[in-house]
Amino acid sequence: MKTKKIIIFASGTGSNFQALHQSPLLNDIPACITALVTDNPGSGALAYARSHHIEPVILSPVDYDHLDDYILELDNKLTALEPDIIALAGYLKKIPDPVVHKYRGKIINIHPSLLPEYGGKNWYGLRVHQAVIENKDKESGCTVHYVSEIYDDGPIIAQAKVPVSDDDTAESLAKKVLKQEHKLYPKVVKQLLTDKQTDPDQTQ
């Protein structure tokens, strides 16, 4: 059986990237993380990729005078990488629409809230957890969803919940949610790679 290629996109620490790379769940299927795409040359994700011999691809729209040139470069790179699945793991740039169209059903994202709550442009990091605390929500969690043209708006694939305690702070809640993310993401990636097809229409 052909080894499935997983491409990670990450901008920051890369703990979800690491969780995917180290997950025993992905050891018993023919799958391999073959490249990391990042817009941030100083990211922990890039350092991890380099130290684990995972192909690093540094690409950022800010380095291009014309957005179309960036999109073409990204498209060419992805064509060469032949991804079976593209997993965004804390990737802060928007995936250009032509790339979303080409890989629809193969690009997924993890978000630290129970979408559709606290999703969309500018909902990331601690501000998500801060809002959960301020609204006195009793539960929060994380969501894996297909990527569409709109931030955090594609069909939901899976969610994991965590209880919010009265003494939780944004920081403590972030830790609890991240722990769930590290469990949920490998499960979902495995499920998608072992399903006959990854088709967002079938999961709505």
Could you give the residue numbers annotated as active site? 111
Instruction: Report, in Å, the least distance between residue 193 CB and ligand GRF.
Output: 19
**Single-letter amino acid, residue 17:** F
Q: What is the 3-state secondary structure (H, E, C) of 68-117?
A: HHHHHHHHHHHHHHCCCEEEECCCCCCCCHHHHHHCCCCEEEEECCCCCC
**Nearer to ligand GRF among residue 14 and residue 83 (C-beta):** 14
**Nearer to ligand GRF among residue 13 and residue 199 (C-beta):** 13
Q: What is the DSSP code string of 171-184?
A: HHHHHHHHHHHHHH
Please tell me the count of residues contacting ligand GRF according to CB under 6 A: 14
Is residue 93 involved in binding ligand GRF (CB under 6 A)?
Answer: no
CA 85 to chain centre: 11
Among 183, 189, 54, 204, residue whose Cα is nearest residue 108 = 189
- Other CB atoms within 10 A of residue 52 CB: 13
**Nearer to ligand GRF among residue 72 and residue 99 (C-beta):** 99
Is residue 141 involved in binding ligand GRF (CB under 6 A)?
Answer: no
State which of residues 21, 111, 145, 176 lies at the interface with ligand GRF (CB under 6 A): 111
Q: What is the dihedral of CA 7, 20, 54, 69, to 10 degrees?
A: 30
Binding segment for ligand GRF (CB under 6 A), chosen from 8-16, 52-60, 65-73, 196-204, is 8-16
State which of residues 110, 114, 162, 164 lies at the interface with ligand GRF (CB under 6 A): 110
Q: Bin 88: left if φ > 0, else alpha if -120 < ψ < 50, else beta.
A: beta
Instruction: Tell me if residue 60 falls in helix, strand or coil.
Output: coil
The answer to whether 145 and 184 have CB atoms below 8 angstroms apart is no
State which of residues 85, 103, 160, 181 lies at the interface with ligand GRF (CB under 6 A): 181
* Residues of span 73-92 touching ligand GRF by CB under 6 A: 89-90
State which of residues 16, 148, 180, 198 lies at the interface with ligand GRF (CB under 6 A): 16
Supply 176's token pair. 């609890």
Binding segment for ligand GRF (CB under 6 A), chosen from 9-17, 62-70, 153-161, 190-198, is 9-17
**Nearer to ligand GRF among residue 14 and residue 96 (C-beta):** 14
Is residue 112 involved in binding ligand GRF (CB under 6 A)?
Answer: yes
Give residues in contact with ligand GRF (CB under 6 A): 10, 12-16, 89-90, 110-112, 142, 178, 181
